[in-house]
Amino acid sequence: MIGIEGQPAPLQSDSPEPLWQQAAKAITREIAAGKLASGSRLPPERDLLTRLSISRVTLRRALQSLVTDGVLVSSHGRGWYVATEAHQEFPQTLESFSETAARLGLAPSSQVLRAEEAPASLDEAEELGIAPGGPIFHLDRIRMLDGVPVAVDMSFFPAIRGIDMSAIDFKTASLFRLLTGAGFDLARAESTIEAHAADKTLARHLGIEQGMPILAMRQLVEDSNGRPVMASTIRYAGDRYRLRTSFSRTAKTGG
């Protein structure tokens, strides 16, 4: 094992098994033994290099193999984490990310990628039912649960007059709460979900490999009169989010 809590046990350089595979197995054993808890951060790479007595190239290959296997999660610029169990959702009501996190007993947070007002494009105007060029607000965020990136949320909605949006800390603020407080009626949502592969940018934001599967949800929130309020594209890391549903069969008379 890698001796995260104690002295390192050297890997076998004369073994037919490559050193990177031995290192990956050593880290996996630490996780299985409970020495590295779900969602916890691995020691810094320099410490792992010393304890395992391997090169940085070998260590990176071992860590990346564990990411591919779903054992670890790479968070760009923040290190390597033990993967958490995928969060399963069985949506029956329209709720915000913050409300979902609270229900699951997790801490929500966000990294803001974009927060600015801009004129609506033809497609954006059509989706929101407003005139092209009308002011809308774009809010793009990396959404995290207990510090682990789960999704990238790109939303836009009609600009809200009388509110200084630049003064709002969208790292923690609830967009649903803001819109409701501004008088918007958030009554229902239409959602379409598709499977895609993560591109380079999305992979970097979510700390996953390029090409890994993601769930892409396109959502349009409407008021009680069916008028569009907000449009969102939310891309979930495929290994950290599962969408569950159930169906009931009505009485049928034919075969």
Determine the pLDDT at residue 85: 62
- What 3-state class would DSSP assign to 151? strand
Determine the pLDDT at residue 3: 46
Structure tokens at 204: 């970097």
Q: Kindly give the confidence (pLDDT) of every residue in the chain, 255 residues in length, as a single tens digit, with 9 standing for 90 and above.
A: 444 444 445 687 778 889 999 999 989 888 887 788 777 788 889 999 888 889 999 999 999 888 887 788 776 667 888 876 655 555 567 888 888 788 778 888 999 999 999 999 999 999 999 999 999 999 999 999 888 889 999 999 999 988 899 899 999 999 999 999 999 999 999 999 998 999 999 999 998 878 888 889 999 999 999 999 999 999 998 877 766 666 667 666 655
184: enclosing H helix or E strand: none
Q: Are 106 and 145 in contact (CB under 8 A)?
A: yes
Determine the pLDDT at residue 37: 75
- Tell me the C-alpha distance between 144 and 91, whole Å: 19
Catalogue all structural domains in the chain, each as residue range(s) with its CATH number: 19-82 (1.10.10.10), 87-243 (3.40.1410.10)
Determine the pLDDT at residue 223: 93
Determine the pLDDT at residue 7: 44
Determine the pLDDT at residue 252: 64
